Amino acid sequence: MKSLVQIAALAAVAVPVAAWAQRDPAYAAARAAGEVGEQPDGYLGVVGSGSASLRALVSNINIQRKAAYTQKAQASGATVEQLAFTSGCNLIAQTKPGEKYRTPGGAWETRGAGAPQRDPRCV
């Protein structure tokens, strides 16, 4: 089984899917408005109920993320869940002040100037 440090290195390669999504103006607007946020499981979440088009956008991004996690997991021997979790750790750490993220306790928070709350297992 891979260590969390090894998986974190692999997950860093899977994160470019998030960078690709940020080029989508609808995604950027939803993120800036606090309608979407990063989650500890490595997937994007809708804050509140969200419109059908927003839920579809988030679903599409999450499908792409899962595909990236699956590809890396198959190549590395880690599980999809391990890669998704460590990606979630990295993506939450990369949020900017004012952006939403889900805490380990499940609450949506707005990132302030300090570090976001992350799962204690994050490396």
Quote the pLDDT of residue 21: 54
Report d(CA 54, CA 113) in Å as an integer: 27
Q: Locate the domains of the chain by residue range.
A: 4-110
Per-residue pLDDT of the chain (123 residues; tens, 9 = 90+): 445 454 455 455 445 555 555 578 999 999 999 999 999 999 999 999 999 999 999 999 999 999 999 999 998 889 999 999 999 999 999 999 999 999 999 999 999 999 999 999 998
